[in-house]
Structure 1
């Protein structure tokens, strides 16, 4: 039975770690202030923080839609159903993007009441207009056909089509591992075993540009997979990024040091998170004012919480519309 608790459970993920490093006030809003904000009985600040937390931007929305539809395509293949054409997949992605725009511009009242079930784009919410920047729209339009074409041509999708030689593992089974009682969350896009090569393969689809963090992310997944399936040698694990924008399939050479590094990363990060707790046994955070604001306006301009951090500016903008 679901139980309402005053504080969330302490957990770790790469996204949580990156948020903590980027802005501690955003970290507080994301993981503490917004807790229980979906409840009608929650206080106003919690509801507001939860609502703002659910705002997305055009690039993130595009990536989320592409990931969801790629998952659906792969499931269709594995179940022996008809595979959509590139054209139909492009149309489906475009449909979801258009729906997100409509929800942001015409259904804000629905989003305010059920922010988890409707889309609100950052570019719409904070510009107080019903239009998107033309340069961003053009960028996503350019990415759309390229991304879909490169997905169908990717090494990993070829493996999916060659499923008689592959053993696919439901990625939904991968949730978390524990370290010192803290859950370390794992979200894998695609996992399978190449039966001919006797290798495990972990795939992460990327709809944006390459990042130095990509290797660490896959190393974390490999560490989890090794523990879950008692894989003796890391040489039996292949980690692969599929960069759909560039059309590049990049496999990283996994080493023991990679696994040690990622273990150190989350262990040190968890200890840092605990420094901002008033009571570690309850995961009760310090008062909000003890989470410093970001002082880089470029970071703040992309943040969901401008309305909370700079209420005077936001109120002034709203009154001028």
Structure 2
């Protein structure tokens, strides 16, 4: 039975860590102020913070659609259902993009009441315009065909099609491992075992460019996999980034030091997060004023919470 708690459960993820480093005020809004903001009897600030938290932008929305469509396509393959071709895939992505645009420009009243179920683009909400920037539209249009074509041509999708030699375990689900009683959340796009070569394979689809954070993300995946399935050697784990924009993939060779580094990362990060608590047992945060705002206007301009931080604007 779902239990309503006054404070959320303390957990850790790479995205939470990134938010913590970027802006403590945003961190507070994301993980504390917005808590329970979906409830009918929540106070106005919690509802407003929860609503703003659900704002997305065009690039993020595009990436989520591609991930969802890839997930469904792979499920169709594994369930022996007919698989859509590239042209149908493109058509479906366009349909979802158009839906997001229509909801952002014509259905704001529905989003205001049910922000989890409707889309609102940052570019629309804060510009108070009914159009998206031409530069961004062109960027997504240019990425659309490339990304989908490269998915169908990818090494990982070829291995999915050769499913008889693969054992598929989990895909696109929140999972976690527990460290000192705290959940460390991990999200893997695709996980399977190559039965012929006796290798575990983790696939992460990327619709953008590579980043320095990729290695820590992959090390966290390997750490989870080793704990979950009691895998002794890292040589038995293949971690692959599929960069769909460039049409390339990289298989990373992780070392024990990589796993030690990511363990140190979340241990130090968690200690810093716990320092922001008034009552660690309840996960009750310090007062709102003790979470300072980011001072870089470039970061603030991309933030969902401008309405709360700069109400006069």
Query: Is the TM value for this pair above 0.5?
Result: yes
Q: Distance in 1 between matches of 2:126 and 2:274?
A: 33
What SS class does the counterpart of residue 250 from structure 2 fall into?
strand
1:170 Cα offset (Å): 2.1
> Hey, what does 1:28 align to over in structure 2?
28
1:101 aligns with 2:101: yes
> Hey, what does 2:82 align to over in structure 1?
82
> Hey, what does 1:318 align to over in structure 2?
none
What SS class does the counterpart of residue 293 from structure 2 fall into?
coil
Moved more, 166-175 or 276-285: 166-175
Q: Deviations along 1:144-193, whole A, 9 cap, x unmatched?
A: 00000000000100000000111001225651001111100011100000
> Hey, what does 1:166 align to over in structure 2?
166
Judge conservation of contact 2:49–2:305 (CA < 8 Å) in 1. Answer: yes
Q: Distance in 2 between matches of 1:91 and 1:216?
A: 35
> Hey, what does 1:134 align to over in structure 2?
134
Q: Distance in 2 between matches of 1:80 and 1:164?
A: 12
> Hey, what does 1:219 align to over in structure 2?
219
1:6 aligns with 2:6: yes
Q: Distance in 2 between matches of 1:196 and 1:177?
A: 28
Q: Distance in 2 between matches of 1:158 and 1:219?
A: 24
Judge conservation of contact 2:191–2:203 (CA < 8 Å) in 1. Answer: yes
Count of residue pairs brought into register by the alignment: 313
> Hey, what does 1:184 align to over in structure 2?
184
1:44 Cα offset (Å): 0.3
Judge conservation of contact 2:173–2:187 (CA < 8 Å) in 1. Answer: no
What SS class does the counterpart of residue 238 from structure 1 fall into?
strand
Q: Distance in 1 between matches of 2:219 and 2:232?
A: 15
> Hey, what does 1:48 align to over in structure 2?
48
What SS class does the counterpart of residue 192 from structure 1 fall into?
strand
The normalised TM-score by structure 1 is 0.97
Structure 1: which 5+ runs fail to align?
Answer: 314-321
What SS class does the counterpart of residue 82 from structure 2 fall into?
coil
1:310 Cα offset (Å): 0.3
> Hey, what does 2:119 align to over in structure 1?
119
> Hey, what does 2:305 align to over in structure 1?
305
Q: Deviations along 1:230-274, whole A, 9 cap, x unmatched?
A: 001011000000000000111111110111011111111100000
The 3 A distance-change label for structure 1 pair 162 and 12 is same
What SS class does the counterpart of residue 187 from structure 2 fall into?
coil
Q: Distance in 1 between matches of 2:228 and 2:166?
A: 19
Structure 2: which 5+ runs fail to align?
Answer: none
Aligned Cα root-mean-square deviation (Å): 0.7
What SS class does the counterpart of residue 186 from structure 1 fall into?
strand
> Hey, what does 1:152 align to over in structure 2?
152
Q: Distance in 2 between matches of 1:139 and 1:171?
A: 28
Structure 1 stretches of 4+ with a deviation exceeding 6 A read none
Q: Deviations along 1:176-228, whole A, 9 cap, x unmatched?
A: 00111110001110000011111000000000011010111011011000011
> Hey, what does 1:229 align to over in structure 2?
229
Moved more, 174-183 or 248-257: 174-183
Q: Distance in 2 between matches of 1:49 and 1:312?
A: 17
> Hey, what does 1:72 align to over in structure 2?
72
